[in-house]
Amino acid sequence: MTRKKDTENGVSPVVGVMLMLVVTIIIAAVVSAFAGGLGTGTSKAPEMSIQGTFSQSSGLTMTHTGGDSLVTKDLQILVRKSEEFGHGESAINVIIVNTSTISDINGKYWVNSDGTYGVMSWRPGESMYVIKSDLQNSNITFGGYSSGTDPGSSIANPANIGKTFTLEVGYKNGKMIASTPIKIQP
């Protein structure tokens, strides 16, 4: 009995080594790309938590309860009426708060009368205010876009005590950052 000699034994180990080498090179390229910043896309959107109170007798208080510091010149504050004010009010009755009526604890306004910015950032733990004397100029006490200055639909109307509205913090380009419901107090 003669045995036939297998002459193809060496091919399989060579192919295996080549495949392992290719896989190692690909893994090294992926790790290098992510380490070099290629894997990072757009910057992270800011995060914020907000709480607020509204009293018809003293005004609006907004507290930044956590998240990132925000640049005030990029922000807008919105008041969105709830459905308690009428069907569809949350969609059509959005009030943009006049930023020249928003102030910090020291009484510095976001935007001064000369157009300069008095408050540059809003940091976690800080509260901002629209005090009673500024409510009329803030747009908050107006009825909103759909009803103009109808006093009946105003959140300052005593008949609306106990109703809620949504306070929204967003960018001027329309992207919302945070929102919270607020009950109207006397």
94 vs 2: CA distance, rounded Å? 95
67: left (phi over 0), alpha (psi -120 to 50) or beta: left
CATH label, 48-185, candidates 2.60.40, 2.120.10, 1.10.20, 1.25.40: 2.60.40
Residue tagged 């959005």 (tokens): 94
34 vs 40: CA distance, rounded Å? 7
The segments of the chain whose pLDDT lies below 50 read 144-149
Residue tagged 């004397």 (tokens): 133
Q: Domain limits of the chain?
A: 10-41, 48-185
Q: What single string gives the DSSP state of each residue in 40-73?
A: --SPPPP-EEEEEEEETTTEEEEEEEEE--EEGG
pLDDT of residue 1: 59
3-state secondary structure 86-141: CCCHHHHCEEECCHHHCECCCCCECECCCCCECCCEECCCCEEEEEHHHHHHHCCC
Quick: pLDDT tens for 127-144.
999 998 888 888 887 654
46 vs 62: CA distance, rounded Å? 18
pLDDT of residue 37: 66
Quick: pLDDT tens for 19-42.
888 889 999 888 887 777 665 556
